[in-house]
Amino acid sequence: MMLRVAVALAWQKKRVGGMRMPSTAARAVHALKDENCPILISPSLVSLDLPDIWASNPTPHDFPSAHKCSNEQNAAIIDGKSTAEEIMSRIAFEVKRMKESIGKAPGLAVIMVGQRRDSQTYVRNKIKACGEAGIMSMMTELPDNCKEDEVLNALSRFNEDPSVHGILVQLPLPQHLDEAKILDVLSLEKDVDGFHPLNMGNLALRGREPLFIPCTPKGCIELLIRSGVEIMGKRAVVIGRSNIVGLPTSLLLQRHHATVSIIHAFTKNPEQITCEADIVITAAGVPNLVRGNWLKPGAIVIDVGTNPIEDPSCEHGYRLRGDVFYEEAVRVASLITPVPGGVGPMTIAMLLSNTLDSAKRAYDFT
């Protein structure tokens, strides 16, 4: 009872803060691209200040059947790309407001070691997104064989630079570098990835609040909330337990009062566990791992997996595939994210949101 009151109050706070409230009517599902393939666009619930993210959606997940796809496709598709764009335009607005009133802009610093092609693409996308939102960005690139001290020195410079509000060390780092040692040095107040052990610890501990929530898990939850999914009391399965996705996602789902099971490479009969889940979030890095028969009919599926599959007919010689066998899952699930265009763009939007939050905190700007 107490809990429900707290959630209701948090929700009220959103209204007072000028956020748009979800209502059954406003939560309508719009068919965007074509009538047989609806894309979900829900009203903005984005909370750019940390505490609001904890508010669960009080409206249940029920989508008008008229908007379900015809034929064999049952799931509605969650459009992460346009949701991320909507969030980014809110961030751009806030950045502009900040510049106009205090003459300061948020700043994000990226440290990239080595020349992994995928890392280069992700970093390029992040920097481009910063430019579009009016966030200042700077980058230090170091060679694959650099010394640990060089990374630590770059990190210390950004830690001390008052125009930098967020620091991101692109992962994975080359084997010879001690990731834990490097993340320990990163200033807690600038840890916009939320990977610092204190931020992660606070995420795990009851009654404590992290300064930042890791971007990909935050993006997954944001997509669920915006799609009208009630997380509280649901059975959720997270596939993967990595520090950057699986683990914080399971912690965040628990914060939202889901009952969470975690599947990893040593789990026996994973399909029996996923079959019972109302919500499946998968981050294993194994293309097509989750088959249609792993899913309970009507399950909600969030696919974090971003796996390159060789395909000479594609522009870059590869295409992206999720962890979910999409063509099968779309017939069983009620809601699903595509790859690309699902969680990926949300990760970037959440990074910018965390950077803006950090700058607001640094300048005491509300």
Ligand X SMILES: NC(=O)C1=CN([C@@H]2O[C@H](COP(=O)(O)OP(=O)(O)OC[C@H]3O[C@@H](n4cnc5c(N)ncnc54)[C@H](OP(=O)(O)O)[C@@H]3O)[C@@H](O)[C@H]2O)C=CC1
Report, as residue numbers or ranges, the catalytic residues: 126, 170, 193
- Residues 268 and 271: their CA atoms lie apart, in Å, by 9
Is residue 119 close enough to count as binding ligand X by CB under 6 A? no
Residues in 10-29 at the binding interface with ligand X, rule: CB under 6 A: none
Residue of the chain from 78, 87, 95, 289 that contacts ligand X (CB under 6 A): 289
33-92 positions binding ligand GUE, by CB under 6 A: none
- Asked whether position 283 contacts ligand X by CB under 6 A, the answer is yes
Instruction: Name, in order, each residue with C-beta under 8 angstroms of 177's C-beta and a sequence gap of 6 or more.
Output: 113, 148, 151
Are the CB atoms for 331 and 292 separated by under 8 Å?
A: yes
CB 64 within 8 A of CB 100: no
Count of positions (residues) in the chain:
366
Say how far apart CA 83 and CA 207 lie, in whole Å.
30
Of 183, 221, 284, 301, the one binding ligand X (CB under 6 A) is 284
Q: Do the beta carbons of residue 119 and residue 112 sit within 8 Å?
A: yes
Residue 266: CB atoms within 10 A of its CB come to: 5
**DSSP assigned state of 53:** G
Peptide bond into 172 cis (omega under 30): yes
Other C-beta atoms within 10 Å of 283: how many? 26
The stretch among 92-100, 134-142, 166-174, 265-273 that binds ligand GUE (CB under 6 A) is 166-174
Compute the distance between CA of residue 305 and CA of residue 323 in angstroms, rounded to an integer.
5
Q: What is the CA radius of gyration of the chain?
A: 20
C-alpha distance from residue 191 to each of 80, 109, 149, 166 (Å):
24, 11, 19, 6
Q: Is 264 in the site for ligand X (CB under 6 A)?
A: yes
Site for ligand GUE, residues 170 to 189, rule: CB under 6 A: 170-171
Helix (H) or strand (E) holding 108: strand 107-113
- Distance of alpha carbon 348 from alpha carbon 337, whole angstroms: 16
Q: Is 190 helix (H, G, I), strand (E, B) or coil?
A: helix
Q: Can you tell me which of 275, 341, 361, 363 binds ligand GUE, judged by CB under 6 A? A: 341
**What is the DSSP-derived secondary structure letter of residue 268?**
S
- Choose between 114 and 285: whose C-beta lies nearer to ligand X: 285
Instruction: Give how many residues touch ligand GUE by CB under 6 A.
Output: 19
306 binds ligand X (CB under 6 A): yes
Report what 168 binds from ligand X, ligand GUE, none; CB cut-off 5-8 Å by kind: ligand GUE
* 43 vs 114 by CB, closer to ligand X: 114
Nearer to ligand GUE, 98 or 168 (CB): 168
Report the partner that residue 222 touches, choosing among ligand GUE, ligand X, none (CB closer than 5 to 8 A by kind).
none
Q: Which of 73, 82, 125, 254 binds ligand GUE (CB under 6 A)?
A: 125
Nearer to ligand X, 57 or 347 (CB): 347
The interface region with ligand X, picked from 23-31, 45-53, 222-230, 339-347 by CB under 6 A, is 339-347
Positions 300 through 339 that interact with ligand GUE (CB under 6 A):
306, 320, 339
Assigned token pair, 33: 């691209």
The contact set with ligand GUE (CB under 6 A) reads: 121-122, 125, 168-171, 193, 215-216, 306, 320, 339-341, 344-345, 347-348
The contact set with ligand X (CB under 6 A) reads: 216, 239-242, 244-246, 263-267, 270, 283-286, 289, 304-307, 343-344, 347
